[in-house]
Amino acid sequence: MSFKQVWSDEIHQDSRYGIKGEILVNHKSKYQEIIIIKTKNNGNALMLDGCWMTSDKEEKYYHECLVHPALSSYEDPAKILIIGGGDGGTARECLKYKKVSSIDLVEIDKDVIDLSKKYLKNTGQEAWKDIRLKIHICDGMEWVKEIHNNYYDIILVDCSDPKEHSNVLFSLSFYRECKRILKQNGIFATQSESPEAFKDAHLNIINSVKKVFSIQSTLYSCVPIYPSGIWSWTFASDNKHDFLSKKYKNIETIEKSCEIWNLNYQSGGFKMMPNKILKVLDE
Ligand code: SPD
């Protein structure tokens, strides 16, 4: 039986970023509109409130770049917090590290998790069955406020673009709570939008993270499905930290398991800040 192929577009600043496919899910949750499509070339793809989040083909560009610069440069990444990440890709990458003993995945929208488990099996893979992964359906800000000081080794923020319920995850007060609940040498990482398509949001994130943490560095790479393609992830710590250092033992095994990320790739990415961003940050 053949199903109707339709275009689903993210419309951003008068440009359309579209993929053709069959609609598998078109659902309105308590928080957002969730669309999942089945495509010929990208596998299954997830869109939230009209914005692409992930596709089977491209998710590794995003998840590997959020996770590995933080975990590979940390000797003992035991306790991890993921804010958002309801498709399971970030958790899957963290679980490759044997030293990870627990992951709290805090996602506000249970429907995203349930639908991802069913329709984005390639993304979460076996992560959902791993006993180290604990799911909490909860607002990210509420969660961090409840955690005691110096608790996590690593915090990864895998959220949607800033709007309505996600705005708080880009606020100074959220970053301050994250710093409080991180161990002294802990690492904070957040997706930090596009320097091209979301330039203002990108600059705000970098400037805010800088105000809260003493060390920060931004990695640039691409996520072809996102507006303009170029994307970024910002890493921070309150301790002297070199995100390019190879602290985790057996990092070669992790490198081999990745489709996109490796130590050379990230070392280029950390040097790719476009001049137009550098100039504004220097002002
Ligand atoms: N413009 C899209 C930004 C979305 C970032 N989060 C993606 C979720 C993938 N786990």
**pLDDT number for residue 163:** 87
pLDDT at site 82: 98
Predicted local distance difference test score (pLDDT) of residue 165: 80
Residues 173 and 65 in one domain: yes
In a domain, 259, yes or no: yes
| 274 and 178 in a common domain | yes
b/e code 195-214 from CB counts within 10 Å (16+ = b): bbbbbebbbbbbebbeebbe
The reply to whether 47 and 65 lie within a common domain is no
- Domain assignment present for residue 33? The answer is yes
CATH number, residue 26: 2.30.140.10
Q: Does residue 79 fall inside a structural domain?
A: yes
Number of structural domains in the chain: 2
54 and 226 Cβ atoms separated by less than 8 Å: no
Nearest residue (by CA) to ligand 1, atom 2, is 53
Q: Is 140 exposed, middle or buried (0-12, 13-18, 19+ CB in 10 A)?
A: buried
Mark residue 82 as left, alpha or beta (left: phi above 0; alpha: psi -120 to 50; beta: remaining). Answer: beta
Ligand 1 atom nearest to CA at 54: 9
Q: What is the structure's pLDDT at 149?
A: 98
Which pLDDT does position 22 carry in this prediction?
A: 97
Measured by CA distance, the residue closest to atom 4 of ligand 1 is: 160
92 sits in the region (left: phi over 0; alpha: psi -120 to 50; else beta) called alpha
**Ligand 1 geometric centre to CA of 191 (Å):** 8
Residues 30, 102 within the same domain = no
Query: What pLDDT, on a 0 to 100 scale, did the predictor assign at position 14?
Result: 93
List residues bridging with 81 in a β-sheet: 104, 155
In this prediction, the residues of the chain whose per-residue pLDDT falls under 50 are none
CATH number of the CATH domain containing 224: 3.40.50.150
Instruction: Please tell me the distance from the alpha carbon of residue 213 to that of residue 237, in angstroms, as a whole number.
Output: 6
Residue 158 annotated among the catalytic residues of the structure = yes
Q: Is residue 1 part of a domain?
A: no
153 alpha carbon to ligand 1 midpoint, in Å?
23
38 is written with which tokens? 């089945």
**How far does the centroid of ligand 1 lie from the alpha carbon of residue 1, in Å?**
32
Is residue 143, in this structure, part of any structural domain at all?
yes
From the CA of 37, how far away is ligand 1's center (Å)? 16
- 41 lies in a domain? yes
CA-nearest residue for atom 8, ligand 1, is 53
Residue 76 placed within a domain: yes
Residue listed under structure tokens 């359309």: 16
CA-nearest residue, atom 5 of ligand 1: 160
Q: Please report the pLDDT score of residue 241 as a whole number.
A: 84
Asked if residue 158 is part of any domain, the answer here is yes
Query: Which residues have CB under 6 Å of ligand 1?
Result: 51, 53-54, 62, 85, 87, 89-90, 158, 160-161, 191, 226
Tally: H helices and E strands in the chain: 10, 12
Q: In 3-state terms, what secondary structure has residue 17?
A: strand
Residue of 56, 87, 109, 158 marked active site = 158
Q: Say what the pLDDT of residue 1 is.
A: 54
In ligand 1, the atom with minimum distance to the C-alpha of 59 is 9
d(CA 283, CA 266): 26
SS3 at position 165: helix
pLDDT at 2: 63
**Which residues constitute the domain of residue 42?**
6-54
26 & 65 share domain: no
In this structure, the answer to whether residues 46 and 65 fall within a common structural domain is no
Ligand 1 centroid, distance to 137 Cα (angstroms): 18
Q: Which atom of ligand 1 is nearest to the CA of 123?
A: 10
Pocket test for ligand 1, best of 112, 123, 161 (most atoms within 8 A of CB): 161
Alpha carbon of 59 to those of 72, 121, 124, 253: distances in Å?
A: 19, 12, 11, 20
- Burial of 81-109, coded b for 16+ CB within 10 Å and e otherwise, reads bbbbbbbbbbbbbbbbbeebeebbbbbbb
pLDDT at 239: 86
Structure tokens, 156: 């990864």
115, 45 Cβ separation under 8 angstroms: no
Q: Which atom of ligand 1 is nearest to the CA of 62?
A: 9
